Amino acid sequence: MVKLFSWLAGFVVVLILFTGVGITLLTSADVSNAQQEAAVAIAKGTALAVSGNIDQINRTLDKMVQDPDVLIAVAGGNPAALNTTAKLLEKYLPGVKKISLFLPEIAELDLSPGQIGFADLDMVRETLVKEQSPSVQGDKADRHLAITRKITLNGKTIGVILAAFPYEFLNKIVLATANQDVSLALKQGTVILASSGAMKDVDDSSSQGVNVANTDWLIQYQQLEQDIDIDFTVVACILLPVFFALLACFSSFRYMSNLLSGDLQNLMKAFKDLMTNTLQGGNYPFKLNEMSALFSNLMQFKRVLDNGDTAERPQKPQADDFNLTISDDDFDLDMF
């Protein structure tokens, strides 16, 4: 019986542990998915914030290129008027570093507006053919965000407006929308314009990212690896059922052991009295029905033997004379 209850207790404990670990793994998977979805939402929110700021600048520039003073200055082609008009426009665009107006006949090395680099001039030339996306360019000492717009009159391109901005506001946006569990990096090609958190493999082109609308930029995101903390609540929820299961098995073993011990003592006493013909009915209480069935069959067997000794026996009794009937419903021999 000890072996039986040991196997039973072991099975119950293993079953509880497997169930608890399975539930924990499923919960961890759900939490991981939720964290991944949160990282995607943060990246999309950051991309939306950056795009919103760029769109606001674009809308302002679109209004400027339709301003009559701008059209008159560009159509006139007077460099002094262009510079004066550009200076006036800077007052209407907060945070701008410099606004420049260019004519289509811009020379290859025409840097007269000042603080305009070769990349800016290339961007102006390309804008004459096709509208360009915002771009951060220039050396580290004079790196800036450049945004251009065509200036058209009667469907004909007559010039280009170039607005240069400090690009540090991009980093402020990324830091404002970042999360301590998610690393973000705003990238222009392979150049990181702004970042938040320590990101691994930032140059990995296969990393996940979100495109920033109306730009050539990408918000690359990465969920930070967190230290594995032992959740004592989960451990307790697993170990407590194990403890109570072992307690129940041990208590059941002790209870069954006491029942069997008491019934076996009564059975042995009854068997002794039965063999010595001193059997006293009602003095042998059994708590298990199987023991009562066993005792009843012993009494029946004894009566058969007694009848066989007192009757005339012309021949040796056969095994069929002992017609014992044992009901499977009352007594299960397999338990013994």
Q: Return the residue matching tokens 């771009």.
A: 135
Tell whether the model's pLDDT for residue 157 goes beyond 70.
Answer: yes
Regarding whether 269 and 321 lie in a shared domain, the answer is yes
| 326 and 240 housed in the same domain | yes
Q: pLDDT digits over 264-275, tens only? A: 777 777 777 777
Burial of 132 (C-beta count, 10 Å sphere; 0-12/13-18/19+): buried
Confidence of residue 325 (pLDDT cuts 50, 70, 90): very low
Given 147, 168, 189, the domain boundary residue is 168
Same domain, 322 and 244: yes
- pLDDT for res 307: 75
pLDDT tens digit sequence for 78-112: 889 998 999 999 988 888 988 999 998 865 444 54
Q: Which residue range forms the structural domain that includes residue 83?
A: 58-168
SS3 per-residue string spanning the chain: CHHHHHHHHHHHHHHHHHHHHHHHHHHHHHHHHHHHHHHHHHHHHHHHHHHHHHHHHHHHHHHHCCCHHHHHHHHHCCHHHHHHHHHHHHCCCCCCCEEEEECCCCCCCCCCCCCCCHHHHHHHHHHHHCCCCCEEECCHHHCEEEEEEEEEECCEEEEEEEEEECCHHHHHHHHHHCECCEEEEEEECCEEEEEECCCCCCCCCCCCEEECCCCCEEEEEEECCCCCCCCHHHHHHHHHHHHHHHHHHHHHHHHHHHHHHHHHHHHHHHHHHHHCCCCCCCCCCCCCHHHHHHHHHHHHHHHHHHHHHHCCCCCCCCHHHCCCCCCCCCCCHHHC
Is 336 part of a structural domain of the chain? no
Predicted TM-score (pTM) above 0.75: no
Q: What is the pLDDT of residue 142?
A: 78
- pLDDT at residue number 310: 54
Q: Do the beta carbons of residue 124 and residue 110 sit within 8 Å?
A: no
The pLDDT-based confidence of 118 (bands split at 50, 70, 90) is confident
Q: What is the average pLDDT score of the chain?
A: 77
In the predicted structure, residue 216 carries a pLDDT above the cut 80: yes
Question: Residue 4 has what pLDDT?
Answer: 65
Backbone dihedral angles phi then psi of residue 72, each to the nearest 5 degrees: -65, -45
| Of 223, 243, 258, the domain-final residue | 223
Does residue 153 lie in a domain region? yes
Measured CA to CA in angstroms, residue 335 lies from 4, 92, 204, 331 at distances of 11, 97, 68, 9
User: What's the pLDDT score for residue 50?
Assistant: 92
Total domain count, the chain: 3
Q: Is residue 212 domain-shared with residue 308, that is, in the same domain? A: no
User: What pLDDT does 189 receive?
Assistant: 87
- 327 confidence band (pLDDT: 50, 70, 90): very low
Which pLDDT belongs to residue 324? 41
On whether both 66 and 150 belong to a single domain, the answer is yes
Question: Does the pLDDT of residue 144 top 60, yes or no?
Answer: yes
In a domain, 228, yes or no: no
Same domain for 204 and 295, yes or no, is no
Whether residues 268 and 311 fall in one domain? yes
Once rounded to an integer, what is the mean pLDDT over residues 36-49? 86
Question: Is residue 90 situated within a structural domain?
Answer: yes
Please check whether residue 270 lies inside any domain of the structure. yes
Mean pLDDT, rounded, for 56-61: 92
Return the bridge partners of 188, or none: 191, 217
What is the rounded CA–CA span in Å between residue 131 and residue 283?
Answer: 109
Residue 5 corresponds to which tokens in the numbers above?
């209850």
- The answer on 182 and 161 residing in a single domain is no
**Are residue 147 and residue 283 in the same domain, yes or no?**
no
| 206 lies in the same domain as 264 | no
**Residue at 173 is within a domain:** no
Mean pLDDT on 125-150? 88
Answer yes or no: do 304 and 250 share one domain: yes
CATH number at residue 164: 3.30.450.20
- Asked if residue 133 and residue 42 are part of one domain, the reply reads no
**How many Å apart are CA 52 and CA 148, to the nearest integer?**
17
What average pLDDT score do residues 31-59 get?
Answer: 85
